[in-house]
Structure 1
Amino acid sequence: MSSAPARSPVSEVSDYIRGWAKSLVDAGLVSAPGKQWEVLAEAPAAAPSPAPDDFWVSASLSGGLNGEIAFRMSRADARRIAGEKEENGHPLTPENQSRVLDIFRNAAGVMSRQRQGADIQLQIEVAATPAWPVAARYWLRVAPPSTLLMEISTNEMLVAGLQTISVADVSARDASPEKLGMLMDVELVVTMRFGGRRMLLKDILDLCTGSVVELDQQVQAPVDLLLDGKVIARGEVVVVDGNYGLRVTDLLADH
């Protein structure tokens, strides 16, 4: 039986962008029945040039996948997404910015769970024109009656991470038992994560001996075991011969 054709690194990137597009449309980016949409690898003829009043949303990825992705839309499209009926020439109000961000955050929640075993965090915020060089650019086009055109750009770090995942998947499928046997004595570093939190720069600079940093995880909550930034298991903290240890209670299926 022939195996399925290997996915190319380029298709991994384009599929990731399509995942974002579908998640955004499903989250309410447009309200038209049917929601006909497509992702284009080249700018359509109707694509507007960047303008000073464009509305930008950025997504910063960390954890199992790192990088930046930016979404550019016209102010008029951003207003329609927020539910405004008319263009009044003024910037979006904070309330309407929040409505747009809610859609992106809902989509980000879906995308953060897209890869089992990869603990991906996504930070969504209103942004300015990205300062980083664009490594890949796509366009999301929504068909009438709710016409919308959105530019989606990624940086090199995200593209490289997606391509690495693609190559690793192909290597895993092609690996024979003999080849895997050659790797069984390779040592890998695993880490235990008790929790985390976001801190303001001024709070970090104020740290001193005796400072207490509260994490976002309860004492009784399971602890994550990570390999190369990906969660492979969870369990309970134990002490073994004076050292911390982990009693595994949950192995992730795709570890």
Structure 2
Amino acid sequence: MNDMTEAPSMSDAAGLQDGNGAANPCRADGPSFADPNSDHYRFLADIPVRLSVEVGNVSLKLCEIMNLTEGSVVELGRQANEMLDINVNGTLVAKGEVVTVDGRFGIRVAEVVTKNVGGARVERRA
């Protein structure tokens, strides 16, 4: 979207209010944000988000970190055959597996997680 000609107007948002006049975009009878033809989707589609993949994690004491040298191996708390977490702005959205594409790492989405979608939070970076 290069200009604001496709941006939703206030009249478009009229159906997105609850009985108290507050915005309620999650109403079941309101427009769907998941519909790629909706004005809301086009409005949000160009917003950049950070996608990250968590291979695993571990808690270490500071002295253990200070003792790391070249060649040290840190064992992560995830089994090698487990799916990896795919996060968008810090919120788990899917599970996947590592693939290689032209010599680069990639991730194949194997399962989309729907339970966290409603509780998504915004990550603010300075």
Kindly report structure 1 stretches of 4+ aligned residues shifted beyond 6 Å: none
Q: Structure 1 vs Structure 2: percent identity of aligned residues?
A: 28
Structure 1 residues 180 and 213: alpha-carbon distance in aligned structure 2, compared to 1, 3 A threshold? same
1:183 and 2:36 equivalent? Answer: no
- CA deviation after TM superposition for structure 1 residue 225, in Å: 0.3
Which string of whole-angstrom CA distances, capped at 9 and with x for unpartnered residues, describes residues 177-214 of structure 1?
A: 42331121222220010000100111011112111110
Structure 1 residues 171 and 201: alpha-carbon distance in aligned structure 2, compared to 1, 3 A threshold? farther
1:242 and 2:95 equivalent? Answer: no
1:201 and 2:54 equivalent? Answer: no
State the TM-score, normalizing by the size of structure 2.
0.61
Q: Comparing both structures, which one devotes a greater share of its residues to helix? A: 1
**How many pairs are equivalent?**
93
Q: Is the 8 A contact 2:55 2:84 kept in 1?
A: yes
Gap regions ≥5 residues in structure 1: 8-169
State the TM-score, normalizing by the size of structure 1.
0.32
Hey, what does 1:173 align to over in structure 2? 26
State the AA in 2 paired with 1:3: D
Q: Say which one has the larger Rg.
A: 1
- CA deviation after TM superposition for structure 1 residue 236, in Å: 1.4
1:3 and 2:18 equivalent? Answer: yes
Higher relative contact order structure (alpha carbons within 8 Å, sequence separation ≥ 6): 1
Give SS of 2:65's match. helix
RMSD, aligned CA: 2.9
State the AA in 2 paired with 1:184: A
Structure 1 residues 188 and 248: alpha-carbon distance in aligned structure 2, compared to 1, 3 A threshold? same
Which string of whole-angstrom CA distances, capped at 9 and with x for unpartnered residues, describes residues 98-119 of structure 1?
A: xxxxxxxxxxxxxxxxxxxxxx
CA distance in 1, matches of 2:19, 2:71: 57
Give SS of 1:173's match. coil
CA distance in 2, matches of 1:185, 1:241: 27
Structure 1 residues 227 and 171: alpha-carbon distance in aligned structure 2, compared to 1, 3 A threshold? farther
Q: Comparing both structures, which one devotes a greater share of its residues to strand? A: 1
State the AA in 1 paired with 2:83: P
CA distance in 2, matches of 1:198, 1:242: 31
Q: 1:216 aligns with which of 77, 87, 97?
A: 77
State the AA in 1 paired with 2:93: I
